[in-house]
Amino acid sequence: MAAERTALKSPPKGAPQLDDERRAPIDAAISDLQRGARAWSHLTIGQRAKLLGRVRATVVATAAEWADVASLSKGLEPGHPLRGEEWLSGPYATLVALDAYAESLGRIERGGSPLDGVRMDAAPGERVRVHTFPTHAIDGLLLSGYTTEVWFEPGVTEAEARARAGLGQLDATGTSSVGLVLGAGNITSIPVLDVLYELLAFNRVAILKVNPTQDSLVPVYERALAPLIEPGFLRIVRGAGDVGGYLVSHPEIAHVHITGSAATFDAITWGTGADGARRRRENRPQLKKPITAELGGVSPIIIVPGEWTSADLRFHAEHVATMRLQNSGHNCIAGQVVILSSDWAQRDAFLAELRAAYDRAPARPVWYPNSAAKMDAAAASYPDARWSVDHTRAIVEIGAEDEASDLETTEYFSPVLGVVTLPGNGQEFLDAAVAHANERLTGTLGANVLIDPVTQAALGDGFERAIADLRYGDIAINTWTAFAFLTPTATWGAFPGASIDDVESGIGVVHNAMLLERVERSVARGPFRPFPRSVPGVVRARGRGGVSVLPKPPWFVTSRTGAAVSEGFTRFRMDGNLARLSATLVKAYGA
């Protein structure tokens, strides 16, 4: 006989209402989760780690279907060269997160800290940082030249950081509650990773409301996450905004987490129309429970002038094109505004390479809802924009007399890339570009900086000080901030300081598999040059720049073998088969 369901309170008067047929299964799901919350609080750390192992096995079993369904949902038919994106941003991102969380739980279970054995040192501005990637030799081999650091807020000591690492798992038997995760619609691992963070950082079981763009993935999610669903730690529901509104207002939901836009966040928090405006004026939010959020923004790509080879110009033009065109630009941290020096002797040569790389990237659908309207808005604001590939992507080059405000304040979430110029060279330019990004661009989620190792060595401490001055939650140096997203031991979220009154790019962080408290930002660093060109450059620049074994990262939209290499990397994470990995690395050299 089925267990008697817990009686639920009704949503408050005025909250969005659903008819009985749609409301009943949602209420039943929340009732199941209430019992699941109690069960979760009784699991030991070791039992939680074993549960993650079961989830890992079911993710492995569904990985190929996951990548295929996600690709088809975005119009990438079999054989399309960009299908590798869905391997990396779906099952790969989930598997590495599960492994990293399990490692943290294992250290806690043994009476230690997730930071045991992890290097920490000082960062600029009286900060402490922890070097979170690579932490294993295989990571250092596959992704040589790439690192991540998590910087804590000023004033946090190394002892405090180590003592507080673990978050909710430091009190595994504490009270558990039910949280709502409003899933993202663009990247298929985001809803899963957000659910895992609710469970492990805060001991909240979760009801996941899937974005309608992800409806085709629901059967895959249900199989991949079956070990969480069976004991009542997770329920998955579908629906449009009315379902989300009902869940947000439900009295048994203790917390809301959303990945989406600032406009959706404001609608949840304050309401819409005249009523929402009145609540804002009166400072009376309609949402009466805590909310965290990962939202978007306008991400800068700061290019510090230096002496680049023709190969450097071509490589980083493809790099910038990738930052904008991956997933057809439907990313919260897609680079949107390139900041160049008007005094850089190679400015025109770089722009020529950028236009060519933008055109050279494979054609693909612009698939996300409302993207056409965003692109129409860009066309209206910038009638001289350069459109290409059947009018599906644009580059807007802002002249000295042109107005850049729309480009710098509107997250286009589509293949629209802008270029603005500032005067200066060296430290003068870098400081001006940092100030421009902080003061003129909307959002605080992700910023990218490209700098050759010789110039970086010449700037010395001034470069690190400029990085500290960037008010962004994730910063990438000679890589893209998406690398931090894919690295589970990095944190992912906006720069601290936002509130429901001015949410900017969000509140709180996710991922954070070492379960660190009071973090300020993550910094990812990559190799300025790919293999084999990276080797002599690092020698000349006194060790800076990073040596990579990859001739071209598989996530580049111009990689000829990116689909095969991305799948191969994921399959290695699935089974650890070194022989198959060797074959994958051979394919990588065909990029």
pLDDT confidence tier of residue 142, bands split at 50, 70 and 90: confident
State whether the Cα torsion 472-473-474-477 is positive or negative: positive
pLDDT given at position 533 = 83
Contact 472, 519 (CB under 8 A): no
Give the integer Cα–Cα distance in Å for 482 and 376. 27
Beta strand residue intervals within 118-228, DSSP E: 120-123, 127-133, 147-152, 177-182, 204-209
Distance of CA 526 to the CA centre of its chain: 17
pLDDT confidence tier of residue 401, bands split at 50, 70 and 90: confident
pLDDT confidence tier of residue 551, bands split at 50, 70 and 90: confident
User: What's the CATH number for 299-551?
Assistant: 3.40.309.10
Give the integer Cα–Cα distance in Å for 151 and 369. 36
Residues 198-229: b if buried by 16+ CB within 10 A, e if exposed: bbbbbbbbbbbbbbebbeebeebbeebbbbbb
Contact 331, 186 (CB under 8 A): yes
State whether the Cα torsion 271-275-276-280 is positive or negative: negative
Residue 405 identity: S
Give the integer Cα–Cα distance in Å for 527 and 140. 13
Strand pairing of 147-152 and 127-133?
antiparallel
Mean pLDDT value across residues 16-27:
89
**String of DSSP letters for 471-492:** --SEEEESS-THHHHH-TTSEE
pLDDT given at position 347 = 98
Instruction: Please say if the pLDDT value at position 1 is more than 50.
Output: no
pLDDT confidence tier of residue 462, bands split at 50, 70 and 90: very high
Residue 440's CB is within 10 A of a number of other CB atoms, namely 17
Residue 460's CB is within 10 A of a number of other CB atoms, namely 10
Give the integer Cα–Cα distance in Å for 226 and 196. 13
pLDDT given at position 14 = 57
State phi, psi for 235 to the nearest 5 degrees. -135, 145
User: pTM of the predicted model, to two decimals?
Assistant: 0.95
Judged by DSSP in three states, 278 sits in helix
Q: 73 CB contacts (<8 Å, ≥6 apart)?
A: 213, 214, 216, 217
296-349 confidence digits (pLDDT tens): 999 999 999 999 999 999 999 999 999 999 999 999 999 999 999 999 999 999
pLDDT confidence tier of residue 360, bands split at 50, 70 and 90: very high
pLDDT given at position 444 = 98
470-515 confidence digits (pLDDT tens): 999 999 999 999 999 999 999 999 999 999 999 999 999 999 999 9
**If you average pLDDT over every residue of the chain, what do you get?**
94
- What percent of the chain is modeled with pLDDT above 90? 89
C-alpha angle 528-366-484 in degrees, rounded to nearest 5? 35
pLDDT given at position 589 = 85
Strand pairing of 506-507 and 416-422?
unpaired
Burial of 361 (0-12, 13-18, 19+ CB in 10 A): buried
158-170 confidence digits (pLDDT tens): 999 999 999 999 9
507-544 confidence digits (pLDDT tens): 999 999 999 999 999 999 999 999 888 676 544 444 45
What spatial distance separates the first Cα and last Cα of the chain, rounded to whole Å?
A: 58
CATH architecture entry for 29-114+168-260 = 3-Layer(aba) Sandwich (3.40)
